[in-house]
Amino acid sequence: MPENSFDVVSQIDLQEVSNAVQQARKEIVQRFDLKDSKSSVELDEREKKLLLASQDEYKLKAVIEVLEQKLVKRKVPLKGLTYGPVQPAASSTVRQEVALQHGIPIEKAREIVKKIKESKLKVQASIQGDFVRIAGRDRDTLQAAIRLLREADFGIDMQFTNYRTF
């Protein structure tokens, strides 16, 4: 019998993040409470992270708020952001790194596979590097697996891609 399958992935569209960062920069320059606060938002596409800097923690929180508003408008899931600690920087400023989710971490992938196995659905779940492939005989079972994963909260943003039927 032919196999049907789909992939569970966790990715953030870097182009949308880049657009949101541009919009956030414009607003930071124009906002009265953030003027002359040495606030900045930088996107490092190679390392897949954001670098935030500001005069103090209060202004940094305002920068984060502006950035999150722009990301939500562009439909970038906030679950895909991992905030690092606030660190003191040169000339009494603070900075913070924000990692962008790219791929499912191995411990989360194991949780997904465990959830699928506990559900007793007639599908196989396998970890394929930074995504999880779920295969089964019929489409209805795969759709039930998607419903099951959507209802469960794994603390990460998940997309279901590469839906193949044979």
Q: What percent of the chain has pLDDT over 70?
A: 98
Residue 19: its pLDDT value, please? 92
Picking from 107, 112, 110, the residue whose alpha carbon sits closest to that of residue 158 is 112
Average pLDDT of the residues in 64-78: 90
Indicate whether 163 pLDDT > 80.
no
Residues 28/34, Cβ–Cβ less than 8 Å: yes
Q: Report all structural domains of the chain as residue ranges with CATH numbers, in order of start.
A: 4-11+104-164 (3.30.70.860), 14-100 (3.30.70.990)
For residue 157, pLDDT beyond 90: no
With cut-offs at 50, 70 and 90, classify the pLDDT of residue 69.
very high
Q: Which pair of structure tokens corresponds to residue 100? A: 């962008």
Angle (nearest 5°) at CA 157 between 155 and 163: 130
The reported pLDDT for the residue numbered 156 is 83
Q: What percent of the chain has pLDDT over 90?
A: 10
- CA separation, residue 81 to residues 37, 71, 96 (Å): 24, 10, 12
- Residue pLDDT, tens place only, 97-126: 988 888 888 888 999 999 999 888 888 988
Number of H helices, E strands in the chain: 4, 9
CB atoms within 10 A of CB 59: 19
**Three-state secondary structure readout of 13-80:** CHHHHHHHHHHHHHHHHHCHHHCCCCCEEEEECCCCEEEEEECCHHHHHHHHHHHHHHHHHCCCCHHH
Q: What is the mean pLDDT of the chain?
A: 86
Q: In terms of Cα–Cα distance, which of 154, 80, 70 is closest to 110?
A: 154
